[in-house]
Amino acid sequence: METHRLVLPADLNQYGFLFGGSLLAWVDEASWIAASLDYPHSLFVTVGMDRVEFRHSVRQGTILAIKCGRLRQGTTSVTYAVEVRDTKSDAGPIFSTNVTFVSVDETGAKKPISGE
């Protein structure tokens, strides 16, 4: 799955660059959507991201492409590889990580992932 985000003034830090927390929220949201589309009968919560390293700065007005792909599935968890790129640059990814989700029931207890 791929989605896009426009970097707006509210997304910038005090130096005029994209605030890392905004990018992390977008990555979490995009990968959660991918998991929810792949497994529509499961409820997911984020367990973690394996690495947080920003490779390039991002300015206001940049259009980011966020690409999410299923990497592996367990009994109760699923992991997505996520890559973020500037749509107008060939400089390589701005950010990449693996995001892991766990399937839960209505009380928050782990449960097996429902079929696709």
Total structural domains within the chain? 1
pLDDT at 25: 98
Torsion sign (Cα): 37, 98, 82, 63 = positive
Domain extent, residue 34, equals 2-104
In a domain, 95, yes or no: yes
**Is 113 within a domain?**
no
What is the edge-to-edge ordering of all strands in the sheet holding 95-104? 2-6, 63-73, 77-86, 95-104, 43-49
Structural contact between residues 47 and 35, judged by C-beta atoms closer than 8 angstroms = no
| Alpha carbon of residue 92 to chain centroid | 17
58 domain residue, yes or no: yes
CATH of the domain at 27: 3.10.129.10
In a domain, 13, yes or no: yes
Whole-number Å distance between alpha carbons of 116 and 106: 19
pLDDT digits (tens, 9 = 90+) for 43-82: 999 999 999 999 999 999 999 999 999 999 999 999 999 9
**116 pLDDT more than 70:** no
For residue 114, what pLDDT is reported? 82
pLDDT recorded at residue 115: 64
CA distances to 20, 28, 57, 60, 95 from 86, in Å: 15, 18, 10, 12, 10
Do 20 and 54 touch, CB atoms closer than 8 A? Answer: yes
> Each residue of 4-52: pLDDT tens digit?
999 999 999 999 999 999 999 999 999 999 999 999 999 999 999 999 9
User: Residue 69: what pLDDT?
Assistant: 98
Measured at the alpha carbon of residue 114, what is the angle toward residues 107 and 70, in degrees to the nearest 5?
A: 110
